[in-house]
A and B are shown apart, each in its own frame.
Chain A
């Protein structure tokens, strides 16, 4: 260690005392003084620029006292409505193709090869059908939703949402930027968890991580949209069905925000108490999104990734479902054993055994919950609907509704509670792993995983009980 270094440090200490405090202020003042001069020399602006005024008026509108929140909710509802209405026909077409044409072709091909029944079953009826189902049902809504969301993101609207909601987050003891990480979670909770790095304070960051699950991710939208359309949209006249379905999904989303705030408040007053850290949120100028570029990139980037995940997760799950349905212990299949075992608990929660087993199978990826439920329901029925563990071709929601209500015994309570449980269950395995990676804490990862489930169980139990007690069901 050169003694010269110490000498320098001593000089520094002495000069530091001489020069006085508030150096940061003085430095930055000098910097900005220079900056001001440089800008004055280099930049000239035409004050009467129309664009700025228009944008400012728009900005004031979306953050105004009377129109701010309604516009926000309207915008979200619009996005969901477009997604739901726009995805119907493509889903039907994909369904016809993948579960009809290709499926039949695969069986013909397998028969020509004299493949054994269990291999055909496992690979075609299990693995392939599950994957085909996910693609047909999930891809169209994702291909519409994500580009729309990305356009909003590129436009610069999201910080305005954070701006509108900040007061609520402040009251909940959370960092203002949590609104932004929450937004990110609507795309994917794992990405939302990673984005909490923008929150410096570890305490506030943990709150953001734990509550991110209440932002309904991509994988769960499909379930909500489908169930919302089947059980709630169908109760309305056809002209309004899509709109009502969208509204129900938005209602769940808003409930998710409410839970985010409530759980944040709870955490910040109990397990994660502490000081609020410094806040600043910048509102960047609106940038007109490059629509075609965004559409192209969004469809390629996000949807294909969802697709890949669906294939990686759905394929093994399909195999598991088929195996569960076709391996017998005694007289009944493993699946039936599990379902029967869990059914009482399920009914208590206003759900049923099939749903609970499906949720266990769907821990890797939320997208496959509904197809799993359908497959298991049909297996349980075994009422002349072809072989077990195989799905029929479904063109539209009416058929699905028929299976769930007719064969599965679902009521509107089941539908609603499924939507609630979809909001309030454990994060998917990718997210759990991401939380672990980000926090390196077994304790907090466990809490982040279990807390939502417990909430889900409580809420579903309460709704079921209230519905039954009040004679509604």
Chain B
């Protein structure tokens, strides 16, 4: 159904017309898109506000965890490219076995979105980094939306986003979605990652434990040999070492390299206003 057409040459030709960000809010589309973008993050980080800003939908947003209870899809156009945005359930981690975490994990791992936006709450950064770092183990093509930056200012927190970007190896965009600050910058970052213009060198977690580190590398090497287009062999290796049943099954059934359409996930539901 879809073509994940991303060609550098295509974009090279539009350099002159890329001067102004051209944003069209399309609401929900059923048809073809150029890029798939996943929206992940801890619960209660303003993820839904960002979703609304990008797609023009009007889910009501409240300030307590667990508000986004289904997965929503939306779309937007930027510089004549159509982006499909999938809002994943808010999760603290991708390592546990709750349904929400599996949905989020499966989408990022198997759905292979072109870009994953990880929303982090600037006032609770350390805890949020748990999910950010895990996502960076799975995919290089990510953007960190450092949301609620106005709240951080209010709490007298200063965040050096360049140091963050350096450490994480992906673009970090400070923003306040509810005030509309940083949305353009976020879109630009998403575009540059989607079109492969951002050199991806995501942070990799190193394990102090020698034995563990070695085991991961051994398995990862075998995985890379068998599944050529696997970008996150280390992650898969880790899950195998942990005995994650669904990953074991995926390996056995050779499903790891599959690009699954977002539409195949049965419980993706579109949220109408309220």
Residue positions of A touching B, CB distance < 8 A: 1-2, 4-9, 11-12, 15-16, 18-19, 23-24, 26-28, 30-39, 41-46, 48-49, 51-52, 150, 153-156, 158-159, 162, 177, 180, 191, 194-195, 197-198, 200, 281-282, 284-285, 287-288, 290, 293, 297, 301-302, 305
Closest chain-B Cβ to A36's Cβ sits at a distance in Å of 6
Interface centre among B62, B70, B99, B161, by most A CB within 10 Å?
A: B62
The chain B residues found within 8 Å of chain A, CB to CB, are: 43-44, 58, 60-67, 69-70, 93, 95-96, 98-99, 123-126, 129-130, 133-134, 148, 151, 154-161, 163-164, 167-168, 178-179, 203, 205-209, 211-212, 215, 218-219, 222-223, 225-226, 237-238, 240-243, 248, 251-254, 273-274
In the docked arrangement, what's the CA distance between A154 and B46, Å? 11
Shortest CB-to-CB span from B127 to chain A, Å, is: 8
Known contacts A18-B211, A38-B168, A42-B167; A156/B64 CB under 8 A: yes
Interface contact B69-A5, CB-CB below 8 Å: no
Report Cα–Cα, A24/B241, bound state, in Å: 10
Given A11-B222, A285-B123, 11 additional A-B pairs, CB 8 A: A1-B252, A15-B241, A26-B212, A34-B129, A37-B167, A42-B161, A49-B156, A52-B156, A198-B69, A282-B65, A297-B58
Contact indicator A15/B215 (Cβ below 8 Å): yes
B151: chain A residues within 8 A (beta carbon): 285, 287
Please measure, in the bound complex, the distance between the C-alpha atom of A284 and the C-alpha atom of B254, giving whole angstroms: 42
**The residue from A24, A32, A46, A159 contacting B95, defined by CB atoms under 8 A apart:** A24
Residues on A with C-beta less than 8 A from B252 are 1, 5-6, 9
Q: Is the CB of A284 within 8 A of B63?
A: yes
Kindly list chain B residues whose C-beta atoms are within 8 Å of the C-beta of A153: 62-64
Are A177 and B125 touching (Cβ within 8 A)? no
Q: A-B pairs with the 8 shortest C-beta distances? A: A198-B66, A35-B129, A49-B156, A46-B156, A12-B240, A153-B62, A156-B63, A197-B69
Which residue, A42, A195, A301, has most C-beta atoms of chain B within 10 A? A42
Cβ contacts under 8 Å, A305 to chain B:
273-274
A28 interface neighbour in B61, B93, B218, B254, Cβ under 8 Å: B93
* Residues A26 and B207 in contact in the complex (CB < 8 Å), given A159-B64, A284-B65: yes
Complex Cα spacing A51 to B151, Å: 10
Pair B58/A301 contact, Cβ less than 8 Å: yes
A282 partner, pick from B43, B219, B242, B274, beta carbons under 8 A: B43
Known: A158-B64, A191-B274, A305-B273. A31 touches B242 (CB 8 A): no
Q: Chain A residues with Cβ under 8 A from B215's Cβ?
A: 15, 18-19
Given A16-B243, A42-B163, the answer on whether A8 and B125 have CB atoms closer than 8 Å is: no
Q: Considering only CB atoms, which chain A residue lies closest to B163 in the complex? A: A42
Q: Provided the pairs A9-B251, A28-B93, A30-B205 are in contact, do residues A35 and B130 lie with their beta carbons within 8 angstroms?
A: yes
Q: Which residue from chain A places its CB closest to the CB of B256 in the assembled complex?
A: A5
Are the C-beta atoms of B159 and A43 separated by less than 8 Å? yes
Write the nearest CB–CB distance from A298 to chain B, whole angstroms. 8
Chain A positions within 8 Å of B254 at CB level: 1-2, 5
Residues of B within 8 A of A2 (CB): 226, 254
Chain B residues lying within 8 Å of A150, measured Cβ to Cβ, are 60, 62
Partner of A302, one of B222, B242, B274: B274
**B219, A42: Cβ atoms under 8 Å?**
no
Residues on A with beta carbons closer than 8 Å to the beta carbon of B96: 24
A-B contacts, 8 of them at CB < 8 A, read A6-B252, A34-B205, A158-B62, A159-B65, A180-B64, A285-B123, A287-B148, A290-B178
| Contact status of A301 and B273, CB under 8 A, knowing A31-B205, A41-B163, A285-B123 | yes
- Which residues of A are found within 8 Å of B243, using beta-carbon distances? 16
**A8-B222, A15-B218, A285-B155 known; A24+B242 contact, CB < 8 A:** yes
- Residues in A whose Cβ lies below 8 Å from that of B203: 34
Q: Within 8 Å CB of A287, what residues of B? A: 63, 148, 151
**What chain A residues lie within 8 Å of B62 (beta carbons)?**
150, 153-154, 158
A19 surroundings in chain B (CB, below 8 A): 211-212, 215, 241
Q: In the complex, what's the smallest C-beta–C-beta distance from B241 to chain A, in angstroms?
A: 5
Q: Which of A1, A9, A41, A285 contacts B167 (CB 8 A)?
A: A41
Residues of B near A5 (CB, < 8 A) are 226, 251-252, 254
Task: Decide if B126 touches A36 in the complex (CB within 8 Å).
Answer: yes
Distance in angstroms from A243 CB to nearest chain B CB is: 29
- Which residues of A are found within 8 Å of B64, using beta-carbon distances? 153, 156, 158-159, 162, 180, 284
- Contact of B60 with A43 in the complex, beta carbons under 8 Å: no
Partner of A49, one of B93, B155, B251: B155
Interface centre among B43, B70, B96, B205 (most CB of A within 10 A): B205
Q: How far is the CB of A202 from chain B (nearest CB, A)?
A: 11
Instruction: List chain B residues, Cβ under 8 A from A158.
Output: 62-64
B126 touches A39 (CB 8 A): yes
Q: How far is the CA of A338 from the CA of B232 in the complex (A)?
A: 70
Docked pose: A200 CA to B100 CA in angstroms: 9
Min CB distance B175 to A, Å, is 15
A154-B62, A282-B43, A305-B273 known; A12-B168 Cβ under 8 A: no
Q: Report how far A194 CA is from B70 CA in the complex, Å.
A: 9
B99, A200: Cβ atoms under 8 Å? yes
Contacts of B157 in A (CB 8 A): 43-46
Q: A15-B218, A24-B95, A305-B274 are in contact. Are A31 and B241 (CB under 8 A)?
A: no
Q: Assess the A194–B44 pair: CB atoms within 8 A.
A: no
| Chain A hits for B218, CB < 8 A | 11, 15
Chain A residues closer than 8 Å to B67, beta-carbon distance: 195
Complex: how many Å from CA A5 to CA B125? 39
Of the candidates B60, B70, B124, B156, the one whose C-beta lies within 8 Å of that of A51 is: B156
Expressed in whole angstroms, the Cα–Cα distance for A287 and B46 within the complex equals: 11
Known: A5-B251, A15-B219. A301 touches B60 (CB 8 A): yes
Query: Chain B residue with minimal CB distance to A50?
Result: B156
By beta carbon, the residue of chain B nearest A49 is: B156
Q: Across the two chains, which residue of chain A brings its CB closest to B99?
A: A200
Query: For A293, what are the chain B residues with a Cβ–Cβ distance below 8 Å?
Result: 178
Q: Which chain B residues border A28 with CB–CB below 8 Å? A: 93, 95, 130
When chains A and B are docked, how far (Å) is the Cα of A201 from the Cα of B125?
Answer: 29
Contact B222 A194 (CB under 8 A): no
Question: When the two chains form their complex, are residues A177 and B69 in contact, meaning their CB atoms are under 8 A apart?
Answer: no
A30 pairs with B208, CB closer than 8 A: yes
Give the distance to chain B from A21, nearest Cβ to Cβ, in Å: 9
How many Å from the CB of B64 to the closest CB on chain A?
Answer: 5
Assembly CA distance A221 to B238 (angstroms)? 53
CB B173 to nearest CB in A, in angstroms, measures 14
Q: Which of A8, A49, A195, A282 has a CB less than 8 Å from the CB of B69?
A: A195
A194 touches B69 (CB 8 A): yes
CA A23 to CA B65, docked complex, whole Å? 27
